[in-house]
Chain A
Amino acid sequence: MINVLYLDDEAHNLTAFRAAFRRDFQVHVTTEPTEAVRILREQPIEVIISDQKMPKLSGVEFFELIMPDYPNPVRMLLTGHADIDAVIDAINKGQIYKYISKPWNESELKGLVQEASDLYHHRQGMASEGAQLMERMNEARLHSTRIQRLTEGQTELNADDTKEVARLAGEVTQLLGSN
C-alpha cells in the first residue's frame, strides 16, 4: 500500500482524509510539522500532502525544510484558496508535483496520489537501474583494464594469455550487451 503523509492544522480534515483513503493507502496524518518530520524518518513515505495555510509555518516552508533530508517523497500542496504568491513559491522553492485546492474531489485526489506514487517508484526504479548499470560499467572497465595490461607492449600473446583475453572480452560483451 502507498504510504501517504498528510499535514494540516485542521484536525477534521485529517479525520476526513483518513476515513476517505484508509482503504486504499497507508495513511499517516498529523497537525504538527515536527510530528510530520518524525513520521518521515520512521515511515517509508512516498507521497506528502500539506496544507498551505498553517499557523506556524506554511506548506511551502515545510517542504523547503524537509527537502535536504527527504528529497524523494513526491510533494503535493493542498490549499483552501488559490493564492498566486503561494503557487509561485510552491513551484520555485518547494518543487511541488501537484497543487490541489479544497474541497478535494476524492477520486481525483486518489488518482493523483496514485500518480505521485507511480512517479516516486519510477524515480526509485530509474535510480536503482542506473545504479546497476553503473556497477556493470565499472566491472567492464575493470576487465578492459586487465585486457589492456595483458596486451600492452606485446606483439604476440601466448596461449594462456590469449585464452584469458578471450574470456574477459566475452564477459565485457556480456556485461554491456545484456540489458
Chain B
Amino acid sequence: MAWGMRIQGIRAVWIGVCFAFVSTSGAQEFIGTRVESLEQSLQPELMGVESVALSDNWNAHVERVPNLGLSDEVKWIRIILDSRTENGMLIEIQNAGIDELTGYMICDEKVVASFERGGIATSQSESSLGTYPTFPIPLTECDEMTALFRLKSGKPMLLPIRIAGPREIIGDSHQRDVLFAAYFGVILVMLLYNLFLFFSVGDRSYLEYSLFILMVGGTQLVLNGYASHLQIQALPWLNLRITHFFGVFSGLTTIVFVQNFLRLSRYVPWLHKLLNFYFVIYLVAFVLAIFGQLVWSYNVINFCAAAILFCIPGSIITMRKGYAPAKYFLLAFTIFIIAVLVFVLKDTGVIPYNAWTFFALPLGSAIELVLLSLALASRINQLKKESAVAREEQLRISQLNERMVREQNNVLEERVKNRTVDLEEMNSTMRTTLEELQSAQQQLVQSEKLASIGQLTAGIAHELNNPINFVSSSAQSLRRDFEDLNEVVNAVKALEPGMDDIGSKVNALQAKLAQLDVDFTQREIEELLNGIEDGTMRTSEIVKGLRIFSRMDGDNFIQAQVNELIESTLIVLRSNLKDLATVQCHLAEDLPMVMCQPGRLNQVFMNIITNAAQSMEGPDREVDDNEVIITTALSESIGQSWIEVRVKDSGVGMSEGVKSQIFDPFFTTKPVGEGTGLGLSIVMGILRDHNAEVEVDSEEGTGSEFIIRFPL
C-alpha cells in the first residue's frame, strides 16, 4: 500500500531514531557492501555484457542495502563472488518491484548463465526460487566469479541483497508466505467484516474503510512480490503501473477515510482542505502513471505520502475537541508509523533484519487495520450516542416546546377570554348605542312626519277655511237677501184682484222693488248659491282627498290607483304650492292599479312635489313661470310593465355632488333648522319597500326630474 512507498518520504525524518526490537529469528546478512554499481555515463548496451563487467568504472557501496534511487534509466550492478564458498548458493534480491531485472553469471570473463527475473519479464526461463527474484550461482570452477545485474524500473530500486543457500531461501520464503498469508487473512477478514457491516448497517464509512483495507492489502500484496500470483504478467501495461495505481488509490481512499472518520470538515477544517489538495495531487500522479511518466508519478506519490504525517496532529486536535474515536485512530497510526520506522531502520542496519522486522510493516498495518476497525466501531457508537443525545435533546426541546405551547395556549385562552368579555361588553354598549340610535332615528322619522303633518295641517286648514268661510258667510247673506225678497213676495201675496186702490199698491210695490234693488239681489243670490255649491264641492273634495291621502291602512299593501294618490296629494298640497308654483298634471287614463302602501306613497309624492316646487322658490321668479309637471304613464322595459311617474321642475337643479347625496339621511341643501334632511331618505326607504326604481335627471340651473317606476 501507499504506506510502503511513504517510507521514502518518511525516511529522512525518522532516520537515526533508536528502536529496540527483540528479534526471534536469525539475522539476515545483506551484502550491500559487496555491491558495486556502474557509472551512469557508460553505454553498456553497446559494449557487451562481459566488457561491462570488466569496466573500471565500478563504484562500491557502503550501505547494507544499496539504494539506486528512482530513475527510469538502466542500472548495472555487480557482485564479486567467492567461487569456492558461494558455489551452488543463490543470490536473492529482496525487491519484487523491479520491472526489468536480468542477472548474468560471469565466470572468467564469460557469461555462463543469465536469468530474466524482472516483474514484467514475458518469459521466465526458470521459475525463481521463492517470492523474490533469485539467481543461482553456477557450480562452475572459476578464478573469478562475478554476478552482473541489469536493472530498470519505474519504482525505487532499494536492493536488499543476500547470498544464501536454497534451503534457507525457501525456508525464509515459506516463513514470509505464512506470515503474509496470515496478514492477508487478517486483511480479508477485516474487508469482509466491514463490507458485511456496510451492507447491514448502511453506514458509508464502512464502505470507505473496506475500500481503504482493499487498497492497503493490495499494496502490500504488490510490494511483497505476490502480484505474480494474480497472473498480472499477462497485462504488461498494467503490470508496469500496478504499484503506482495501488499507491494512488490507497492514498485516495486513505484521504477520504481520514476525512470522514476524523470528521475533519467539522473539527479541523484547514486539514480537511489540505487533504482535498492532496487528493487532487494524487489524481495528478494517477494521470502521470497512465501516460507512462512512472518516475514522476512515483515522485508525486512520495510527495503526497507526507500527508500521513498530518493525520497525527489532526487526530490529536480532534481528540482534544472531545471526539473519542480519535484515540484509536491516533494509536493505530502511531503503531503504523512505528512499524514504518522499524522497516526503515532494519534497512539501514540499526536493527537486525529478520522475518519480524521484515514483517514489521504488514504487522503494523494489520494492527492498524484492527485498531481502525475498533475506532470505526467506536465512531459508530459515538455517532449513535450523539444521535441518541441529539434525540434526547430533541425530545427535551420538543417537550419544552410543548410545555411552552401549552403555557402559551393558557395565556392565549386567558387573553381570548378577556377579549371575549371585552367584546361582549363592547357589544352590549354597541347594542345600547344602536338602540339609542334607532330610537333617535325613529324620533327623527317621527318628527319628520310631524313636520310634514304640521305643514299639511296649515295647508289643509287654509284650504278648508276658505270654502267654509264663504259658504257660511254666503248663507247669512242669502238669508238677508231672501228676507228682502220675502218682503216683496208678501206684498205681492197681499194683492188681491178686485182690491181697491190696486193701482197705488202696485206703484208702492214697484217703489219697494226699486228700493231693494231686487235685480241686484237676484244676481247676488245666484252668485252666492254658486259659491256655496262650489265651496261644498271643494270641501267634500278636500275631505275625500284627505281621506285618501292619510289612509291609515298605511302599512298594508293594497291595490290603489297612482293617479288618485297624486291627485289627493295635490289637493292637500294646493295651498302650500299656491305661492310657489303652478302644477300641470298629465295623468294617463286607465292606469292599472298598483299593489302599494297608499299612505306611505302619498308621503313620497308629497315630498318630491314639494321639493320640486321649493327648488323654484326665489325673489326674482314669477309664480306663473314656475311649473311642476307631473306625468304618469304605462311603460314597458326589460320585459316588464311599469307605472312611471315623472315629476319635473325648472328649478335650480343639482350638481353631481349633491345628486349623489340626496338620498343620504340628514343631507339637506336647506338652511339649518328648515329641513331635517330625512325626506328623501325616507322616500328611498319607502320606494325600496315597493321594489320601485328611482332615476334622477338633473342639471344645475335647468331643473330636475324624478322618475319613479313601480313594477306591475
Contact = CB atoms under 8 A, between A and B. Distances in A.
Interface in A32-66: 53-56, 58
B364 interface: no
B575 A10 contact: no
A80 B468 CA distance: 10
Contacts of A104: 469, 473
A20 interface: yes
Interface in A9-27: 9-10, 12-13, 15-20, 23
A54 to B, nearest CB: 7
Nearest to B576: A53
Given A80-B461, A81-B462, A15 B470 contact: yes
B524 interface: yes
A10 B466 contact: yes
A17 B473 contact: yes
B33 interface: no
B473 A80 contact: no
B472 interface: yes
Nearest to A52: B462
A102 B480 contact: no
A15 B527 contact: yes
Interface string B460-503: 01111111111011101110110000000000000000000000
A19 B528 contact: yes
Contacts of A19: 473-474, 477-478, 480-481, 524, 527-528
Nearest to B525: A19
Contacts of A56: 579, 622-623
Contacts of A58: 579
B476 to A, nearest CB: 6
B534 interface: yes
Contacts of B466: 10, 12-13, 80, 102
Nearest to A9: B578
Nearest to A103: B469
Nearest to B520: A22
A106 B474 CA distance: 10
Interface string B526-562: 0110110011000000000000000000000000000
A84 B575 CA distance: 17
A17 B524 CA distance: 11
Contacts of B474: 12, 15-16, 19
B509 interface: no
Given A53-B579, A80-B469, A16 B462 contact: no
Interface string B503-516: 00000000000000
B458 interface: yes
Nearest to B623: A55
A13 B534 CA distance: 12
Q: How large is the interface on B (under 10, 10 to 19, 20 to 34, 35 or more residues)?
A: 20 to 34
B578 A16 contact: no
A54 B477 CA distance: 25
Given A12-B470, A103-B469, A23 B480 contact: yes
Interface residues of A, number: 25
A83 B528 CA distance: 29
Question: Which of B463, B466, B528: most chain A CB closer than 10 A?
Answer: B466
Contacts of B530: 12
Contacts of A18: 524
Given A19-B477, A80-B575, A10 B470 contact: yes
A19 B524 CA distance: 7
A53 B472 CA distance: 20
A13 B469 contact: yes
Nearest to B474: A16
B535 A12 contact: yes
A53 B623 contact: no
B470 A81 contact: no
Contacts of B477: 16, 19-20
A81 B473 contact: no
A55 B463 CA distance: 13
Question: Which of B468, B469, B579: most chain A CB closer than 10 A?
Answer: B469
Given A10-B470, A23-B480, A80-B469, A16 B528 contact: yes
Contact of A102 (B465, B476, B531): B465
A55 B465 CA distance: 17
Given A53-B578, A58-B579, A80-B575, A16 B461 contact: no
A106 B477 CA distance: 10
Nearest to B538: A12
Contacts of A81: 457-459, 461-462, 465
B480 A12 contact: no
A80 to B, nearest CB: 4
Interface string A129-145: 00000000000000000
Given A12-B535, A15-B528, A55-B623, A102 B579 contact: no
A101 B462 CA distance: 10
B470 A53 contact: no
Nearest to A11: B531
Question: Which of B458, B466, B470, B528: most chain A CB closer than 10 A?
Answer: B470
B458 A16 contact: no
B400 to A, nearest CB: 83
Interface string B578-598: 110000000000000000000
A16 B579 contact: no
Given A15-B474, A23-B480, A55 B469 contact: no
B164 to A, nearest CB: 153
Contacts of B535: 12
Contacts of A17: 473
A14 to B, nearest CB: 9
Contacts of A106: 473, 476
Contacts of A79: 462
Nearest to A14: B470
Contacts of A103: 465, 468-469, 472-473
B531 A16 contact: yes
Contacts of B467: 12
Contacts of B459: 81
B133 to A, nearest CB: 145
A53 B463 CA distance: 10
Contacts of A16: 469-470, 473-474, 477, 528, 531
Nearest to B534: A12
The 3 closest A-B pairs by CB, nearest first: A19-B477, A80-B462, A103-B469
30 contacts: A12-B466, A12-B530, A12-B531, A12-B535, A13-B466, A15-B474, A16-B528, A17-B473, A19-B477, A19-B481, A19-B524, A19-B528, A20-B477, A23-B480, A53-B579, A54-B579, A55-B579, A56-B579, A58-B579, A80-B466, A81-B457, A81-B459, A102-B468, A102-B469, A103-B465, A103-B469, A103-B472, A103-B473, A104-B473, A106-B473
Given A12-B470, A16-B528, 7 more contacts: A9-B578, A18-B524, A58-B579, A80-B469, A81-B459, A103-B473, A106-B476
Interface of B: 457-459, 461-470, 472-474, 476-478, 480-481, 524, 527-528, 530-531, 534-535, 575, 578-579, 622-623
